[in-house]
Copies of this chain bind each other. A is one copy, B any other.
Amino acid sequence: MTSDSRARARPSSSGSEVVPGAGPEPTGFADVGLLTPVAVGHDALVSDAAVASALIEAERGLVRAAVALGLAPASVAAAVERGAGELERALDVGALAAASVGGGNPVIPLVAQLRDAVEAIDAHAASWVHRGATSQDIVDTALALLVERACAAVCVDLGRVIAALAALAAEHRDTVAVARTLGQHATPTTWGFRIAGWIAAVRAARAELRAACDAVPVQLGGASGTLASFVALYGEDAARRLPAAFAHELGLTAPELPWHVARRPITRVGDGFTTVLDALGVIASDVALASRTEVGEAVEPAAPGRGGSSAMPHKRNPVLSVLIRSSALRAPGLAADLHRAAALAVDERPDGAWHSEWPALRELLRSALGAAATAAELAEGLTIDAERAAANLALTGDAVVSEQKKLTGAAGAPEAYTGLAGAYVDQILAAVRRDHSQEDT
């Protein structure tokens, strides 16, 4: 069985392709595809190769920051950049993973390799690698980089979702349909209004996600979070300026304090990605329900080989919705793992809670990357069957406006009893247009 051809197996989604500031393109393919189809082709940003790149980038950023503050000679930066580049090209990620078990994280063996690589270029420069830092400074900063890149890719895909749904909501602004509560026909609504609700939730989730991800700072505290090593090396004044310089080099923000055991930046990101998946989960669940054979109001986009069954030739499964739902169902548990790690972040570095955070965060990022890309595909091809919607509405007959009769003594046609549905659609579409014009300027 060959595995080296996996990287080219599937074109990455447009969302993952061009990520602003994503640095060197990670290679490799996270080997968990067969049992996580939702993420296949969308998770290169969180592969081991991407993690290794981010760790190296964090080390590079720290050296550049020392140079920028005049603490290290300028020649060091060039040597470290070259050494890091060579290491990155030659790195055996599997061997690094194996070597990382002894110390509990990959930084110790990575630093040794990076120092060797730099030493071959400039013997003096090697001593500047990882100078004053602790492993957690590098791991947490690398997580911040991963989060930032995954967020950017997810937001691109959410933009596609919003744009496509906006067009659909406009098209079906006045497509009357029955609202359902507890699964039963309630009163009339419109498909436009239902879709507008989806858009509003995705827009809000995207804004919260961006704010959460932008708020993940670099980590820089040294062994115990006091920056004592940097004070000893560079003096107090330079030590105070170093975190901001480090953040500047990496395009991240500077923390108020070292956050080794104050994990809100990570839990907030977890809450943000889960909020995105909640919003996508509602869309997928609604589409799955509306696609049921007896309902038939929504139809997923067709594609060669999609939605088939290995047994039944006539099947057209709502596979995109199913895959999105499989992610949305698990996200809250992953975010809860992050909160639990936060609540147990004892001492100056905890004895297991921090380590439990990493796989939960990675799996959450992977789920979100996959679900967002899948949702974009779903939204861009989703169609609403207005005739089926009308036929379903008719099933309940006049009773669908029985509330109106009870309240006002008389009832009209269902399409006249949709309240502010149209107005709300217009309101949301206007908000989407404002987003676009802001992005343009």
Q: Which residues of chain A in 127-180 are interfacial with respect to chain B, using CB atoms and an 8 Å cutoff?
A: 130-135, 138, 178-180
Query: A335 — which chain B residues lie within 8 A by C-beta?
Result: 332, 335-336, 339
Q: Are B407 and A224 in contact (CB under 8 A)?
A: no
Q: Other CB < 8 Å A-B pairs besides A10-B97, A31-B32, 5 of them? A: A182-B351, A186-B224, A197-B261, A257-B427, A285-B346
Q: Are A395 and B319 in contact (CB under 8 A)?
A: no
Are A223 and B186 CB-contacts (below 8 A) given A1-B52, A36-B358, A310-B130? yes
Q: Which of A99-107, A245-253, A379-387 contacts B (4 or more CB under 8 A)?
A: A99-107
Query: A256 — which chain B residues lie within 8 A by C-beta?
Result: 200, 427
Q: Kindly identify which residue among B180, B236, B311 contacts A423, using a CB–CB cutoff of 8 Å.
A: B236
Mask: chain A, 73-90; 1 = CB below 8 Å from B; 0 = not? 000000000000000111
Mask: chain A, 111-127; 1 = CB below 8 Å from B; 0 = not? 10000000000000000
Query: A188 — which chain B residues lie within 8 A by C-beta?
Result: 224, 226, 228
Q: Are B311 and A351 in contact (CB under 8 A)?
A: no
Q: Are B200 and A262 in contact (CB under 8 A)?
A: yes
Q: Are A351 and B325 in contact (CB under 8 A)?
A: yes
- A438 touches B (CB below 8 Å): no
Measured CA separation A108–B344 after assembly (Å): 29
Q: Are B342 and A337 in contact (CB under 8 A)?
A: no
Residue of A130, A275, A303 contacting most chain B CB atoms (<10 Å): A275
Question: What are 25 A-B contacts with C-beta separation under 8 Å?
Answer: A1-B88, A3-B28, A9-B95, A33-B93, A34-B51, A34-B96, A34-B100, A34-B106, A37-B106, A107-B310, A131-B407, A184-B291, A187-B228, A223-B312, A226-B420, A228-B403, A236-B419, A267-B271, A321-B351, A322-B351, A324-B352, A325-B356, A329-B343, A332-B339, A359-B363
Q: How far is the CB of A101 from chain B (nearest CB, A)?
A: 5
Are A323 and B101 CB-contacts (below 8 A) given A30-B31, A289-B183? yes
Q: How far is the CB of A285 from chain B (nearest CB, A)?
A: 5
Q: Are A282 and B346 in contact (CB under 8 A)?
A: yes
Which 7 pairs from chain A and chain B are nearest by CB?
A: A6-B94, A325-B352, A33-B97, A228-B419, A179-B224, A281-B343, A10-B98
Specify the chain B residue showing the minimal Cβ separation from A136.
Answer: B181
Query: A278 — which chain B residues lie within 8 A by C-beta?
Result: 263-264, 267, 339, 342-343
Are A330 and B337 CB-contacts (below 8 A) given A133-B311, A223-B309? yes
Q: Are B344 and A340 in contact (CB under 8 A)?
A: no
Query: A349 — which chain B residues lie within 8 A by C-beta?
Result: 180-182, 186
Measured CA separation A32–B174 after assembly (Å): 43
Q: Kindly identify which residue among B7, B103, B189, B264 contacts A310, using a CB–CB cutoff of 8 Å.
A: B103
Query: A392 — which chain B residues lie within 8 A by C-beta?
Result: 293-294
Q: Which of A14-22, A40-48, A61-69 contacts B (4 or more CB under 8 A)?
A: A40-48
Residue of A133, A226, A324 contacting most chain B CB atoms (<10 Å): A226
Q: How far is the CB of A44 from chain B (nearest CB, A)?
A: 11
Q: Are A240 and B423 in contact (CB under 8 A)?
A: yes
- A217 touches B (CB below 8 Å): no
Q: Are B92 and A317 in contact (CB under 8 A)?
A: no
Q: Are B95 and A307 in contact (CB under 8 A)?
A: no
Q: Which residues of chain A in 217-256 are interfacial with respect to chain B, using CB atoms and an 8 Å cutoff?
A: 222-233, 236, 239-240, 256
Measured CA separation A222–B312 after assembly (Å): 10
Q: Which residues of chain A in 268-292 are interfacial with respect to chain B, using CB atoms and an 8 Å cutoff?
A: 268, 271, 274-275, 277-279, 281-282, 284-286, 288-289, 291-292
Residue of A41, A321, A342 contacting most chain B CB atoms (<10 Å): A342
